[in-house]
Structures are given as C-alpha cells and as structure tokens.
Amino acid sequence: RDQPRSRGLGDVYKRQEGTTKYIGLIGSKTKKAKFHNMLKNELGFKEGIEPVHCPVGLDIGGFTPNEIAISVAAELLKTHYGK
C-alpha cells in the first residue's frame, strides 16, 4: 500500500539531493521505520530516511491542526536559519 508513495519519496529525494534543505514526511514512527527500510534495502539509499524530517514539525506538544501547522512552520524556519 505504501510502495507507490515510497518510491515517489525516493524519486524526490534523488532529484533534490544537495539542492534542498528540507524534506518532510507526515507519518508515525512505524511509517518512518517502513520508509527507512524501503529506501535503504529496496532503493539503495545508504542514508535511508535520515535526511527526511519525520514526523514533520517540531515537538511543541500540540495536537490541533493549527498547532501542527505552527510546529511545521517553526521547523521550516529552524532549517532555513540553520539552527
């Protein structure tokens, strides 16, 4: 079920390698582990999902859509400013 999206993530990562500062993935720790194994074992990315921010956003303790949006924006700004 995750395979088409997973391969899409691999393609995005391959095209953007070295040119982008941030790739984020919405997902649970279980989904992160699945993607990591697939990227390493099936697509040959030695780093797996390590360069991808998953789950996306800083852990600010929020659960509402607005709080999640703020946490994602905060993580983007943190990356942008190199903090």
- Residue 59 confidence (pLDDT): 93
Average pLDDT of the chain is 81
What is the three-state SS of the chain?
Answer: CCHHHHHHHHHHHHHHCCCCCCCECCCCHHHHHHHHHHHHHCCCCCCCCCCCECCCCCCCCCCCHHHHHHHHHHHHHHHHCCC
pTM for the predicted model, two decimal places: 0.64
1, pLDDT greater than 50: no
- Read off the pLDDT of residues 58-80 as tens digits, 9 standing for 90 and up: 999 999 999 999 999 999 999 99
